[in-house]
Amino acid sequence: MMGKHYDVVVIGSGPAGYVAAIRASQLGLTTACVEKWVDEDNQTKFGGTCLNVGCIPSKALLDSSYKFHEAQEGFDIHGIKVGKPKIDVAKMMDRKNSVVSQLTGGIKSLFGANKVDGLSGIGTVLGDNQIRITAQDGTVFNVSAKNIIIASGSVPITIAPTPVDNEVVVDSTGALDFDEVPKRLGVIGSGVIGLELGSVWARLGSQVVVLEALDEFLPMADKQIAKEALKIYKKQGLDIQLGSRVTGSNVSGGANRTVIVEFSNSQGDHQITFDKVIVAVGRRPYLDDLLDDGLGIELDDRGRIKVNAHCETNLPSIYAVGDVTRGPMLAHKGSEEGVMVAERIAGKMTQVNYDLVPSVIYTHPEVAWVGKNEEELKADGIEFNVGVFPFAASGRALAANDAEGMVKLLADSNTDRILGCHIVGASAADLLQQIVIAMEFSASAEDIGLTMFSHPALSEAVHEAALAANGHAIHIGNRKRR
Ligand code: FAD
Ligand code: AMP
């Protein structure tokens, strides 16, 4: 059956796809967005990984578990006595689910308001500008599009030593849906997802062991910041074992099944028994049923759709954005690519600045960074000044009893241009954003130093780090005085 013709058809409704679709429609292009995910009632679930099983539900559980942790350990110092708090896991999950429904429902409304046709089914790119859509009930129809934007996202990687059974051994999706707090929890992988989900359950009472194959903690982060974060996580009770490669597992028992995880490190081979294990070893691009045989779209060596800086594939009028293509697997990176592609299709010259993709770990304190770190600048032979300001010297952080961590700002020692900012501390993601904006405008450390910041605010730590980069922070001693 021949279907409708569109200017743009987007495949996938995650943060890359739905944003691309809305922007395309805003620009007057007739647009459809195809999504294959449906709920138990066969209703299309828009929003992709991010809204359904990623950013949003993980943050909902991080927020709930942090409140629990504060009630348990953070209130007493303020003179607040509440007794021993109890966690109702089912209620916590209900709240998380309702936040997810509110947001995924919101996308449906946004599609309506922006005249995007939301199409339900698996989209397969056939060539000749045709897309086949296979609906849940088996109905098949084609639509055609002048431009096709692939935004099919990613799925969790599984590893042979720990097959996911979704009961005892789960992936990130399963870890967002435990029905009770596991007593002994293993997390495989100390990447962002492992740390966030490990923190959720540790705060609620699990004994958490994180097994990480690499010897280095957070190799993508600035070393000083990674070291500080590791110290804080360990103090919080996360038993992070670096250099520990998981090699096998054995699930046993009846109703209360447990899993023995085998791993090896420099001291030899070991085993630990857990009640649950979260496999958080990364994600891979998702291409199942997406490309018709013989379409000829080029992939890279990691199975991602190969694109240029404008997200164009090797085939004319076919683009790829988000997790399915190169770059960090982050929602905001995908969204910006979605906007860029929609705008370029509409004739604008939009670009994405890949040098300024902020990264965040939403633990408490948060870890956030943008731009180059100290090690990268040294490797590039760039001379730079470092400004570090600890939250222990921030009045606002002390008033909140939340003064762990620091802001570290790096600026070119010749031009003073800000080259990177690295934060571990409360609200690091939001604090970082002011430097992301400043860097977009090629600001110098002095520009930030000359800006007036409200007092008392956590952002003063960013101000002081910028002053420190030029040797004249007010509330700490400076490494160099200028
Ligand atoms: P996805 O969100 O994966 O969406 C792809 C969509 O395409 C899916 O809905 C899928 O069903 C659909 N699809 C695939 N193939 C087809 C097809 N053939 N036909 C029709 N539909 C198809 N990122 C952040 O920036 N911040 C965070 O805090 C954060 N937290 C995370 C926490 C967890 C636990 C996880 C797992 C991820 C997290 N991420 C976070 C990563 C973030 O979720 C992804 O980077 C983001 O969702 C990628 O967006 P996307 O649109 O490229 O793909
Ligand atoms: P990320 O890709 O940032 O989500 O992080 C995944 C982490 O899992 C990486 O740091 C990997 O080193 C780690 N990892 C992968 N395989 C194993 C394994 N078999 N045992 C322990 N850690 C692993």
Enumerate the domain spans of the chain: 5-155+284-354, 169-281, 365-481
365-481 matches 169-281 in CATH topology: no
Question: What is the dotted CATH code of the domain comprising 169-281?
Answer: 3.50.50.60
Q: Give the predicted TM-score (pTM) of the model.
A: 0.97
- In terms of CATH, what superfamily is 365-481? FAD/NAD-linked reductase, C-terminal dimerisation domain (3.30.390.30)
Q: Which two tokens stand for residue 217?
A: 């903690």
Q: How far apart are CA 33 and CA 125, in angstroms?
A: 13
pLDDT at 2: 60
Q: Point out the catalytic residue in the list 5, 455, 463, 472.
A: 455
The pLDDT of residue 414 is 98
CA-wise closest residue to 409 among 426, 380, 434, 381: 434
Q: What is the pLDDT of residue 253?
A: 84
Stretches where the chain sits below pLDDT 50 are none
pLDDT of residue 299: 98
For 5-155+284-354, the fitting CATH number among 3.50.50.60, 1.20.1300.10, 3.30.70.1520, 3.40.640.10 is 3.50.50.60
User: How far is Cα 434 from Cα 417, in angstroms, rounded to an integer?
Assistant: 15
CB contact set of 380 (below 8 Å; sequence gap of 6+): 372
Residue 215 C-alpha to ligand 1 middle, in angstroms?
Answer: 29
Residues 411 and 441 sit within 8 Å (Cβ to Cβ): no
pLDDT score for 481: 65
Q: What is the pLDDT of residue 337?
A: 99
CB count, 10 Å around CB of 378?
12
- Ligand 2: nearest atom to the Cα of 193: 4
Catalytic residue check, 472: no
Which residue among 49, 193, 212 has the greatest number of ligand 2 atoms within 8 angstroms of its CB, and so is best to mutate?
212
The angle formed by the CA atoms of residues 187, 189 and 195, to the nearest 5 degrees, is 70
Report the pLDDT value the prediction gives residue 133, as an integer from 0 to 100.
98
Residue nearest to atom 30 of ligand 1 (CA): 55
Tokens (6 digits) for 257: 């099944």
